[in-house]
């Protein structure tokens, strides 16, 4: 679970920062576009890391691979269509991480072809790809307050959505248990391979 490798921490820092910032910015931007100006008033419509990073959450991500950013606050009652708004806001974060991962993979391919693919560049970009893919998958777990639970609650009948939401008080314990057992790895690794395979297939057509 814990990784105190200095090279891993230094090489992973750009990927983690970008993953966190882009994810939260995407939530804020889509909420604003759907009619709720709460993120705008709270200064979250920016790519400045200061607006999104929780220092303790970042440190935990670097050393324990489990952390958090400042959540984007929004009011779904201000959305023109609350179901559509909730769905798009929830999906925006993970989708943005997949876009970053795909672009990073393209950058790796182009730099390799150009012959300027050093070990340092390879480490930073490969971690950027993996962290963003894992961040997208992790956040789509159907466990509140993760994005996957919000997507699921849009489609669930009211009483079941309420029951799912009530699990939030146990979420931290559940997540820790998942990380200390093969459960989370069993979810992340297969999906990570599928996504990487799809990305490589697309890139292989053009490069």
24 is annotated as an active-site residue:
yes
Query: H-helix or E-strand containing 98?
Result: helix 82-114
Among 43, 200, 71, smallest CA distance to 126 is for: 200
- Which among 18, 24, 25, 86 is annotated as catalytic? 24
Q: Could you give the CA distance from residue 14 to residue 190 in angstroms, rounded to a whole number?
A: 24
Is 140 in contact with 151 (CB distance < 8 Å)? yes
Is 26 in contact with 94 (CB distance < 8 Å)? no
Backbone angles phi, psi at 115, to 5 degrees: 75, 20
Q: Could you give the CA distance from residue 87 to residue 152 in angstroms, rounded to a whole number?
A: 9
Active site residues: 24
């Amino acid at each position: 679970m814990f990784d105190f490798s200095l090279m891993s921490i230094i090489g992973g820092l750009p990927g983690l920062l970008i993953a966190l910032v882009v994810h939260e910015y995407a939530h804020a931007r889509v909420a604003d576009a759907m009619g709720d100006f709460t993120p705008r008033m709270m200064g979250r419509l920016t790519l400045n890391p200061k607006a999104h990073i929780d220092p303790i959450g970042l440190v935990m991500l670097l050393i324990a691979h489990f952390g958090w950013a400042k959540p984007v606050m929004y009011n779904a009652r201000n959305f023109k269509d609350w179901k559509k708004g909730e769905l798009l806001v929830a999906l925006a974060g993970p989708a943005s991480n997949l876009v970053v991962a795909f672009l990073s993979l393209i950058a790796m391919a182009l730099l390799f072809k150009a012959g300027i693919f050093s070990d340092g560049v390879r480490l930073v970009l490969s971690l950027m790809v993996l962290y963003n893919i894992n961040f997208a998958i992790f956040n789509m777990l159907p466990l509140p307050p993760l994005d996957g639970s919000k997507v699921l609650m849009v489609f669930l009948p009211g009483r079941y959505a309420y029951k799912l939401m009530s699990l939030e008080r146990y979420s931290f314990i559940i997540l820790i248990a998942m990380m200390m057992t093969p459960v989370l790895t069993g979810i992340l690794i297969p999906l990570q391979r599928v996504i990487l395979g799809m990305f490589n297939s697309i890139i292989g057509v053009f490069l």
